[in-house]
Amino acid sequence: MAENTIKTKCLIIGSGPAGYTAALYTSRANLNPIVIEGNQPGGQLTITTDVENFPGYPEGTTGTGLMDDMRRQAERFGADIRSGFVTSADFSQRPFNIKTDSGLEIEAETVIISTGASAKFLDLADEKRYMGMGVSACATCDGFFYRGKRVAVVGGGDTACEEALYLSNLAKEVFLIVRKDYLRASKVMQQRVFDKPNITVLFNTNTIGLYGEEFLEGARLVEFKGTDKERVYELTIDGFFLAIGHRPNTEVLAGQITLDEQGYIVTDAPHTSTNIPGVFAAGDVADPHYRQAITAAGSGCRAALDVERFIGENPI
């Protein structure tokens, strides 16, 4: 075995609530897991300011604070957490061979994939500037902070309509920004949106910018872009929610793991096993529906328990 090669009973690819919870459980099971944190250590919660819906924090906490707590708890029981990201993974035979950007090679008896999913953005420079300061990709996570305020949701599919409907029960006004002249959402979802008196649908509209001093104060919109009816105007809002989809972080797994049509890892529910024996998936990378910190943490626990059982039944 080369100097830069190490062995482990369980490798966890990715961090966040799923990865750190899996690390906690596998550590306590004496599996001595190695965690490769990925490009965004701590996952998407690290770009969220306040977290008030995670059990055990009655006064709320910050996204980075929650992830720091989970990371330290996993380390307390011996998890080997390393920075960096996986560049290649060979799942053709056990032990699996995984390589990282630092040149490290890992021989793993089992692997838990918890690489998460990234929200799709409009690629506006202002999005990053106001992230956590008025811009969000999760209405369920952050909608509570916009009670009685004016917010906008970008998108025209079921997810966008669901986000708009959720926010309509909290915010004073909700604007649904749709670039086409129709909604792609199901007829039932469309009708629910149209029936809500405090939701205004802005068809044929694109967002070209955001503005505000410290926090978001509004969006710059263009209606009927590129036509003789083109109109540029500003919309005063306190919150701007992106609902144009998520992209599961599965690039390095291409051709090996079974994915659904959207690119999410297919698991053998209620278990977390994938099509490859010994490879499991947890968190948003395998969850196109809930995408919550608590559900991700729960699936990380399930993956760890599945790993422990698998190793016991399939020793190398």
Tokens 């899996």 sit at which residue? Answer: 22
Residues in contact with 312: Cβ distance below 8 Å, sequence separation at least 6, in sequence order: none
**Residue 52 pLDDT level (bands cut at 50, 70, 90):** confident
Q: How confident is the model at residue 47 (pLDDT cuts 50, 70, 90)?
A: low
Integer Cα distance of 79 and 208 in angstroms? 45
Q: What pLDDT, on the 0 to 100 scale, is given for residue 48?
A: 64
Q: Would you tell me the crossing angle of helices 158-168 and 187-195 to the nearest 10 degrees?
A: 30
Confidence of residue 232 (pLDDT cuts 50, 70, 90): very high
* 141 in active site: yes
AA letter at 49: T
**Other beta carbons less than 10 A from residue 283's beta carbon:** 34
Residue 49 has pLDDT above 80, yes or no: no
Residue 158, both tokens: 């079921």
Q: Catalytic: 142?
A: yes
User: What local confidence, expressed as pLDDT, does residue 23 receive?
Assistant: 98
Q: What is the pTM of this model?
A: 0.76
Q: Is 161 a catalytic residue?
A: no
Can the peptide bond before residue 33 be classed as cis, meaning omega within 30 degrees of 0? no
pLDDT at residue 40 above 80? no
CB 198 within 8 A of CB 115: no
In the chain the first and final C-alpha atoms are separated, in Å, by 17
Supply the pLDDT for residue 62: 87
Contact present, 1 and 100 (Cβ < 8 Å): no
Considering the candidates 126, 138, 284, 287, report the single residue annotated as catalytic: 138
What pLDDT digit, counting tens, does each position of 197-228 carry? Answer: 999 999 999 999 999 999 999 999 999 999 99
Indicate which residue of 10, 126, 142, 306 is catalytic: 142
User: Has residue 161 got a pLDDT over 90?
Assistant: yes
Average pLDDT, the chain: 93
pLDDT for the residue 3: 59
Q: Quick one: pLDDT band at residue 120, thresholds 50, 70, 90?
A: confident
From residue 66, how far is each of 21, 33, 43, 297 by CA, in Å? 12, 21, 11, 12
Q: pLDDT (tens digit, 9 = 90+) per residue, 104-117?
A: 999 999 999 999 98
Tell me the pLDDT tens digit for each residue of 2-21: 558 899 999 999 999 999 99
- The number of residues making up the chain comes to 316
Q: How many C-beta atoms lie closer than 10 Å to residue 4's C-beta?
A: 12
- C-alpha span between 163 and 161 (Å, rounded): 5
